Amino acid sequence: MTVSQSVHIALGCVLAAASWLLSTSVWAQAVSAPSPVASPATASGPSNWTVSDWLERLHAASRERAYAGTFVVTSGAEMAASKIWHICNGVEQVERIETLTGTPRVTLRRNDEVITFVSDQRLVQRERREALRLFPDMLRAPDQRIETFYMARPVGAERVAGFDAYVVDFLPRDQLRHAFRIWSEKQTGLMVKMQTRTHDGRVLEQVAFTELQFDAPVSMDDLLRQMNSTAGYTVLQPRMQPTGTQSLGWTLNASVPGFQSMSAYARTEGAGNPSFQWVFSDGLASVSLFLETFDPQRHTNEKTAADGATHSISRKMGNYWVTALGEVPVETLSLFIQALDTPR
CATH number at residue 33: 2.50.20.10
One domain, residues 307 and 164: no
One domain, residues 287 and 214: no
CA distances (Å), origin 141, targets 28, 136, 163, 217, 267: 19, 10, 29, 32, 24
Q: Mean pLDDT throughout 122-144?
A: 58
Q: Mean pLDDT throughout 28-53?
A: 54
How many residues does the structure list for the chain? 344
Determine the pLDDT at residue 93. Answer: 81
Determine the pLDDT at residue 216. Answer: 87
One domain, residues 248 and 330: yes
Q: Do residues 273 and 293 touch, judged by C-beta distance below 8 A?
A: yes
Torsion of CA 212, 214, 219, 222, to 10 degrees: 10
Determine the pLDDT at residue 45. Answer: 58
| Position 125 pLDDT exceeds 50 | yes
Determine the pLDDT at residue 22. Answer: 42
Q: Which residues touch 231 (CB under 8 Å, ≥6 apart)?
A: none
| Position 316 pLDDT exceeds 60 | yes
Q: Mean pLDDT throughout 288-301?
A: 91
Chain CA centroid to CA 82, Å: 16
Write the pLDDT tens digit of every residue in 168-180.
Answer: 999 999 999 999 9
Q: Do residues 62 and 24 touch, judged by C-beta distance below 8 A?
A: yes
Q: Do residues 156 and 167 touch, judged by C-beta distance below 8 A?
A: yes
233 belongs to a structural domain: no
Q: Mean pLDDT throughout 115-134?
A: 77
One domain, residues 290 and 149: no
- 292 bridge partner residues: 321
Domain extent for 219: 3-227
74 belongs to a structural domain: yes
Q: Which residues touch 192 (CB under 8 Å, ≥6 apart)?
A: 22, 160, 161, 163, 165, 183, 184, 185, 208, 209, 212
One domain, residues 255 and 200: no
d(CA 320, CA 9): 21
Residue-wise DSSP of 99-111: ESSSS--EEEEET
Q: How many domains does the chain have?
A: 2
232 belongs to a structural domain: no
Q: Mean pLDDT throughout 147-159?
A: 95
One domain, residues 122 and 211: yes
One domain, residues 210 and 68: yes
CA distances (Å), origin 68, targets 43, 83, 134, 161, 192: 31, 8, 18, 12, 12
One domain, residues 111 and 249: no
142 belongs to a structural domain: yes
Backbone angles phi, psi at 340, to 5 degrees: -80, 130
Q: What pTM was estimated for this model as a whole?
A: 0.82
One domain, residues 107 and 256: no
| Position 132 pLDDT exceeds 50 | no
One domain, residues 303 and 223: no
Return the CATH number at 289. 3.30.200.100
Residue ranges of the alpha helices (H) in 135-280? 220-227, 245-248
- 13 bridge partner residues: none
At residue 243 the predicted structure's pLDDT band, cuts being 50, 70 and 90, is: confident
One domain, residues 206 and 305: no
CA neighbor of 301 nearest in space, from 290, 316, 283, 291: 316
Mean pLDDT computed over every residue of the chain: 81
| Position 340 pLDDT exceeds 80 | yes
Determine the pLDDT at residue 145. Answer: 76
Determine the pLDDT at residue 12. Answer: 37
One domain, residues 192 and 302: no
| Position 98 pLDDT exceeds 80 | yes
